[in-house]
Amino acid sequence: MSETKIIDACNTYCPGPLMELITYMKQADVGDTLELLSTDSGTANDVPEWVNKIGHEMGSSEKVGDIWHIKVRKAK
Amino acid sequence: MRILVVGGGTGGTIVANNLARRLAPEIRARKARITLLSASDQHMYQPGLLYVAFGQMMPDELYRDEASLLETGIKFHVDPVEKFELDQNRVRTKSGEVYDYDILVIATGSRTMSREVPGLQEGAETFYTEKGAVKMFKSLRNFQGGKVAIVVGVPHKCPIAPVEVTFALHDYFKMRGIRDKVEIKYHYPINRIHSIENVAIWAKPEFERMGIKYETLFNVDEVDVENKVVKSMEGSEYKFDMLVSIPEHHGMEVIEKNKLGQNGWIPTDRYQLTMDGHDNVYVVGDTTNLPVSKTGSAAHFEAEVIAENIASIVKIGTPVTEYDGKVYCFIEAGRDKATYAMFDYLNPPNLRAANKPMHWFKMSYNKMYWTTVRGLL
Ligand SMILES: Cc1cc2nc3c(=O)[nH]c(=O)nc-3n(C[C@H](O)[C@H](O)[C@H](O)COP(=O)(O)OP(=O)(O)OC[C@H]3O[C@@H](n4cnc5c(N)ncnc54)[C@H](O)[C@@H]3O)c2cc1C
């Protein structure tokens, strides 16, 4: 069954949120949804750019307080 | 108090030495015992591999006997752990020994996983192992010109290595007088040329000045060894004459087999450095799942926090400090210049222009490392 896994990439400069997402995306099964938490303002643009290029699916993307919550579904 | 450290690399050695000094009176009074188990009697200075790949260091310069680096109070055995029985507070080793502990420190490091990408192992040079670094140097020496591609797996240890090897390639070909016959193309997984924004901002004009091409959002998917083409998951490809790979890493197999963490990365509290759900198990260095660079530097700063906390637990029953995410990385910008990046969870690095004194500082650090792991620096 698919699940939502939280990746806490708040307050990290290296490897940084997108690199963390790529790491966990490789470990996930097709159909899994990952929710990336990030305090880096660039993440809201960086993640959709990669997700669209590689062919996964963007879910919701919202800022709650200082933290971006970005959901991505592994599509392949 | 029985303290067991598993892994005699950068993190494990610093924890053990630092603790042995802090707990000298307790060790003498037989109130504390430190045991270190490792998979090898040798300790390798891994950053030296980059220099081996360019003929600037010999492999034998990278090793010391682990026993020679340890404080006398530490009991050291070369006997790799095969089973972690965390619920019983004990581990079982290859030789069949059982070690009980009150506090466990896991410091088993990480390993390269070139085989995860079809064709990468056969089709690429890599300086992440001794054998690979020597082979890469021989290939570089024989290289007379053509296209050199650098590709980067995720996750990887030493996040600065991709830019360092790129600068080093530029200078090496320049030194041989064939730079004009070589196209260097750097490929990086995310949408800028380094994960640290300020490193990317610093490196981009340097790449442009040196005529180094680059492509971002390139995650290696496959290498067509016969036709010498590297393909990305994002759908692009590049035909090369030499491929240099910074391979994807996993934690050690023993961590995965014992179900301590997916792909060998152990879920770790980012401040206390304890394993999630196990307050008497500390995790240090590459094998944590922390969003922190997998570097000797991070392992070093984490090790100091862990040693201070274990010592205070022995002495007053409570930890006293937390890890703040500190990392300090030298960045070699070619054969004779370097800069550095220092950052933590909350503060990004500010990069200065690369200069010669910083390079000589790094060259001295290559020797000073052995005093660092002894815990003297
Ligand atoms: C080419 C290269 C360049 C690098 N450059 C830099 C740099 O410039 N700066 C920097 O800070 N870092 C750099 N690093 C990274 C740095 O070397 C590592 O991040 C660091 O060594 C990690 O320390 P560790 O203690 O986690 O693991 P390691 O130092 O790898 O030690 C792991 C130890 O665990 C032992 N072990 C494994 N399995 C078992 C088992 N089952 N039982 C018992 N023991 C076991 C091993 O024998 C080893 O002693 C570089 C690495 C490479 C490869």
Indicate whether B354 belongs to any domain. no
Quick one: which atom of ligand 1 is closest to the CA of B287? 26
Residue with tokens 């041989």, as numbered in its chain: B176
> Is residue B267 located within the same domain as residue B235?
no
Averaged pLDDT, A8-15: 94
Instruction: Give the start-to-end residue ranges of the domains of chain A.
Output: 5-73
User: Pairing relation of β-strands B42-44 and B63-65?
Assistant: antiparallel
Cβ atoms of B358 and B330 closer than 8 Å: yes
Nearest chain B Cα distance for residue A24, angstroms: 9
pLDDT at A23 over 60: yes
List residues of chain B with CB under 8 Å from any CB of chain A.
154-155, 159, 189-191, 195-197, 217, 219, 233-235, 248, 262-263, 291-293, 325, 327, 341, 343, 345-346, 348-349
Helix (H) or strand (E) holding B219: none
Residue A41's pLDDT is what? 86
> Is residue B242 located within the same domain as residue B298?
no
Residue A2's pLDDT is what? 57
Residue A1's pLDDT is what? 47
Per-residue pLDDT reduced to its tens digit, B5-38? 999 999 999 999 999 999 999 999 999 999 999 9
Q: What is the pTM of this model?
A: 0.97
Cβ-Cβ contacts under 8 Å for B190 (sequence gap 6 or more): A16, A18, A19, A22, A46, A50, B216, B217
> Is residue B34 located within the same domain as residue B150?
no
Residue B375's pLDDT is what? 81
ipTM: 0.95
Cβ atoms of B283 and B273 closer than 8 Å: yes
Angle made by CA atoms B320, B321, B324, in degrees to the nearest 5: 170
Q: Find the CATH number of the domain harbouring B266.
A: 3.50.50.60
Structural domain count of chain B: 2
Domain topology for A5-73: Translation Initiation Factor IF3 (3.30.110)
- Specify the DSSP class assigned to residue B66: G
The answer to whether A59 contacts chain B (CB < 8 Å) is no
Q: Which two tokens stand for residue B2?
A: 């029985």
Residue with tokens 């260095």, as numbered in its chain: B285
Indicate whether B366 belongs to any domain. no
Q: Which residues of A are designated catalytic?
A: 14
Domain boundaries, position B135: 113-248
> Is residue B103 located within the same domain as residue B176?
no
Per-residue pLDDT reduced to its tens digit, B289-321? 999 999 999 999 999 999 999 999 999 999 999
Hey, whose CA ends up nearest to atom 5 of ligand 1? B47
Of A14, A18, A54, the CB nearest to B196: A14
Low-confidence ranges of chain B (pLDDT < 50): none
Residue B78's pLDDT is what? 98
Q: For A16, name the nearest residue in chain B, comparing CA atoms only.
A: B195
Residue whose C-alpha is closest to residue B190's, from A40, A22, A5: A22
Per-residue pLDDT reduced to its tens digit, A42-75? 999 999 999 999 999 999 999 999 999 999 999 9
B209: left (phi over 0), alpha (psi -120 to 50) or beta: alpha
